[in-house]
Amino acid sequence: MKESEPQNLSPEEKRAQIAEQKIQELARRKEAGELEPYDYEVINIWYLQRMDRSITRKDVGNHAIIISPEEFERLGYIEYIRSSGEIIVIDSDDVDKNHPFIIFPEELGEKQS
């Protein structure tokens, strides 16, 4: 198959491709100094959950959120405010079990709209 030919990927293959692109972008941005070299700690997400708070840009600063499938299973869910102000809740059953869940800081907002 030529590279210019469109690929008919399965949903699973598309998820894997997107996950790989995000992982590569994460590495590139850390290397370029655009993001902090270490990720937002998952334990902080757990603490925010216990305080019934959504994750905001202010919480993470310039750190990416990276949650492995195993960590996501232990958390059960993640709740954050999108840059648009929308509150997003993602259950562990809704995430890809083969790749880490990644949120870049600019995807987060401060307040619910």
pLDDT tens readout for residues 6-55: 568 888 888 889 999 999 999 999 999 999 999 999 999 999 999 999 99
pLDDT band, very low/low/confident/very high, at 113 (cuts 50, 70, 90): low
pLDDT at residue 1, as a whole number: 42
Burial of 69 (0-12, 13-18, 19+ CB in 10 A): middle
pLDDT at residue 69, as a whole number: 95
Residue 86's SS3 state is: coil
